[in-house]
Chains A and B, each alone.
Chain A
Amino acid sequence: MARDVLLESVPDLRADLDRESMAAADVRTEEMLVNMGPQHPSTHGVLRLVLRTDGELVLDAVPHIGYLHRCAEKIGENLAPYQFIPKTDRLDYLAAMNNNHVFSLAVERLAGVEVPERARYIRIIMAELNRIASHLVSFGTYGLDMGAFTPFLYAFREREMILDLFEAACGARLTYSYITIGGVTHDLPDGFVERCREFLDYFEPKIDEYNRLLSYNQIFIKRTGCVGVIRPDEAIAWGLTGVCLRASGVRWDLRRCLPYEIYDRFEFEVPVGLPPGGVPPVPAGVPAPKVPAGTCVGDCWNRYFLRMIEMYWSVAIVRQALDGLPAGDYRSKVPRNLKLPEGEVYFEGENPRGQLGFLIVGDGSPIPYRVKARGPSFCNLSIARRICRNCLLADIPAIIGSIDVVMGEVDR
């Protein structure tokens, strides 16, 4: 069934040409359908790709999703928003803070809840720290996809330190449910600011170390440069967001373009994919990175590299937020059975993987009538089939890894 759909849907001239030339030589060749996933080391969870291959050449790759579907949105129609927060943790489980944040902001916008100033700063600190943690996982697993094992462990060593900070703040290391409606669940613990600063001072030079270890490695550039190129118009047409969009040269970051929360108070740049020789903006005092030869705008290398640059800027934002952290309440008084007014709100925030949106429809009761999530991984994954065509088998992990999907968010 899948094979028929697959073969019919993609008219491929190359295969026809091959068949004609091979028929002349009286040699029988066959295309091979390979199931990559849902259990495969480099599909980052339970993504399943059906590859139509001609030797090492992949003629077509069809993603199949749904192995991690947990009815998150339907559950949202049966729970009060504060009960749904732990479910948002499990969407993009590598960026739970950001999910909590966007969902809380959407509910607050619908119900008109005010958030104290201190809570807003804490939210920014947590969201950006989690962005770093998420990008670290992406960086590490991407190295793993490319066959370099060591960056993975370095990335996880650093991520553990961020998780330690989160654990100190809320007691959890993966599913935090820390940012909640009206603020955050607990105030920052004693010494958090100092520990956080110590981490930032330690971490910032490490990014350059990673760049020297992996980003500028010639083999790595050869593997990822000009592979899986997405043109800017394609990126927009396919609804890509986040790093995948910016790597194609489109300067679009919700934190800067439609500032939410208090992002307009911080100074940061939005790096985009650059041609070879380009110098992406980085905070003062860090070694200037340079886009090497052999890459092009919108390729895997640029998508990967933007995450490294974004980590610099997240560090800068956290530093500014720590400097400006005011005293005061960490949460406003929100009634337990917060009644959601009639009407609907759609709110998007910039997650590590792109724009996470929540549509919440209220009907006057504490339980929303409808909750819908727009997962960035889901939309970004949609272009996989477009760019996995006519590449080599080894390029598939490179492309899928650079799109950086989290299946929990794709399937929800």
Chain B
Amino acid sequence: MQAIRGEDILKPRWDPALRSRALRAVCRGCLGALAGAAAGAAVARLGLRGHPVAVLLLVVVPLGLAALAAVAGGLIVLAGPIGRALRRFAAPVFWGAVIASVLLIWGVAELMGFVGELARVDPVPEAVTAFGGPLTTGELRESLRGPGRFVLLSGLLWPLQFGVVRDLVVVAGVVAFVSVFAMFAIWWERKVSARIQSRLGPMRVGGWHGWAQSLADGIKLLGKEDLIPAGADRPLFCLAPYLAFVPALCGFIALPFGAYWVFRNLDVGLVFVLAMVGVEVIGVILGGWASNNKWSLYGAMREACQMVSYEIPMGMALLVVVTAAGTLNLTEIGELQKSGWASWLAFRNPFTFVACFLYFVAALASCKRAPFDLPEAESELVAGFMTEYSGFRWCLFFFAEYAAMFIVSGLATTLFLGAWYSPLPVRWGAVLAEGGLLSRAVHGLVFCGPLWFVAKCILLIYVQMWIRWTLPRVRIDQVLYACVQVLLPLTMLALLGQSLWELLVPRGSALGLAANAITSAIGAVLVMGAVGAAAYGRMNRRRLVGSLAVEHLPGA
């Protein structure tokens, strides 16, 4: 039997026997699922008198499985043409996938809104509760008040009447977003590091700049042997990656991507997200302990040590903003920053400005990113807490790391850098916001919207990558020193200063406005300086890299 490799997705090399065997298996599965659905329909109709839940479990689920099998069969049959098309049109496929992801998220949001409208128009008290009353398709169709062509739509929408199902769909969307983002970030990190190191990075898989590299890597990791060391604490060893990944995922529950783009608008959103980032550490410590490997243990102990030192300055730096905003609700904090660049909380006064940088340093430590990557310090601890992990468990640690990077960047964006608003005051686009779909889309692109939030997060993640590929690693005593003896007093001072500022400098006073103007100007100069330096380097790169290394430049 031929093993299936990651590149088979794009370059199928199945022999006919294997292919027909796989096809037969899939067909059998499909037929079996269809038969199950038919039997389920009979049972549901005769035995349970068409109870909706019975229909859902006995008919819809087997039908879904059958559809999945059919899709798999189609993929097997069409693998060759699909692979050729992917290789041929790699760049359009990549950008198409990006646009499709955005559209999908938008579509899910619209759908949720639509179902929410339905529930409001024709409120059925039992229907809102989980698997509550028997709301039939007929009633749903009536609530749509449409002619017969809505039958299919309302049939499809039927499960969405339950809040639990809606939440599940959104959670699936969040998981998909995190997974897709982690895969993108891994690929992107490789490209960024390659640029920094005058290499090319992944170039083959998927064609256009190796965009499918993470996909192929993921499938490779799934196929790897799942090793558990003989002396390991098996249950804890298996649990640890999930303890790292699930909190990272939970952080997204309260992270607002936009004014209405938040899964649960919690009044203590900030505390919740911070707690989730903190809980993630337990997975790391547990994994290091359960591995029964001395290097892993070192990694775990370093992580514990590092955590007690960075968590306090991190939380205190965020408190500075909380005192400025007066709320812990992330959505409300975001709403405060709608009046353009100068209203961003980082530029409120000198203390929030300093707190922004302090938070970023502590956040680097919390993500275990260089120069604070001691728990997995490759040259000292082999791979630290991940030494004994392989395959999918290792993959989960990796996903957790990138998810955590997004979360801390998201917190920085929400609290300091204008959340989902663009540097332009949102009132300039008030006319657009009232218009039709197109003008609203333009409004979302130019003034406010989840795209701005994601873009800012990606920019901050880029800074993290830039730092990682530039700086050496600090030593454990230096981490403790930096966090406890430098960051902590500084954040305390910032908090004290911010409190006094709120007390003594009234909103709108001359001093407040002047401080706001100065810090905004410094921020603008910093950003423009970075952009200018990058542009200068890009334009003069042939001269800067020297005569002989020009051929090593990416794209040369």
Q: Which residues of A contact B (CB under 8 A)?
A: 32, 34, 40-42, 55-56, 143-150, 153-154, 157-158, 161, 198-199, 201-202, 205-206, 213-214, 217, 219-220, 222-223, 392-397
Contacts and interface: CB of A to CB of B under 8 A. Distances in A.
Given A42-B379, A198-B547, A199-B548, A219 B197 contact: no
A42 B193 contact: no
Nearest to B371: A219
B194 to A, nearest CB: 9
Contacts of B209: none
B373 interface: yes
Nearest to A160: B552
B372 to A, nearest CB: 10
Nearest to A204: B546
A383 B377 CA distance: 25
Nearest to A214: B472
30 contacts: A34-B295, A42-B379, A56-B298, A56-B302, A56-B476, A143-B472, A145-B379, A148-B471, A148-B472, A149-B469, A153-B197, A153-B198, A154-B198, A157-B198, A158-B549, A202-B549, A205-B546, A206-B546, A213-B470, A219-B371, A219-B478, A222-B474, A222-B475, A223-B474, A392-B477, A394-B380, A394-B473, A394-B475, A395-B475, A397-B380
B196 interface: yes
A56 B475 CA distance: 10
A157 B193 contact: no
A22 to B, nearest CB: 17
A146 B370 CA distance: 11
A330 B538 CA distance: 46
Interface size on B, as a range, is 35 or more
A407 to B, nearest CB: 17
Contact of B546 (A41, A56, A202, A223): A202
Interface string B457-481: 0000000000001111111111000
A392 B471 contact: no
Interface centre among A148, A161, A220 (most CB of B within 10 A): A148
B552 A396 contact: no
Contacts of A32: 294
B378 interface: yes
Nearest to B198: A157
Interface string B289-304: 0000011001001100
B547 A202 contact: yes
Given A34-B294, A149-B193, A219 B474 contact: yes
A217 B472 CA distance: 8
Interface residue SS majority, chain B: loop
B199 interface: yes
A287 B99 CA distance: 50
Contacts of A146: 379, 472-473
Given A40-B382, A41-B379, A223-B475, A150 B196 contact: yes
B299 to A, nearest CB: 11
Contacts of B472: 143, 146-148, 214, 217, 219-220, 223
A357 to B, nearest CB: 32
A247 to B, nearest CB: 19
B197 A154 contact: yes
Interface string B516-556: 00000000000000000000000000000011110010000
Nearest to B374: A394
Contacts of A397: 379-380
A223 B477 CA distance: 10
Contacts of B478: 219, 222-223
Given A34-B294, A393-B476, 7 more contacts: A40-B382, A144-B379, A147-B379, A150-B193, A161-B548, A222-B475, A392-B475
Interface string B370-392: 11011001111110000000000
A161 B198 CA distance: 15
A143 B549 CA distance: 20
B429 to A, nearest CB: 42
A394 B476 contact: yes
Nearest to A144: B379
B469 A150 contact: yes
Nearest to B377: A147
B191 to A, nearest CB: 14
User: Which 10 A-B pairs have CB atoms at the shortest separation, nearest pair first?
Assistant: A147-B473, A146-B472, A42-B379, A153-B197, A148-B472, A202-B548, A394-B475, A145-B379, A202-B546, A147-B472
A41 B378 contact: yes
A220 B478 CA distance: 12
Given A222-B478, A392-B476, A148 B198 contact: no
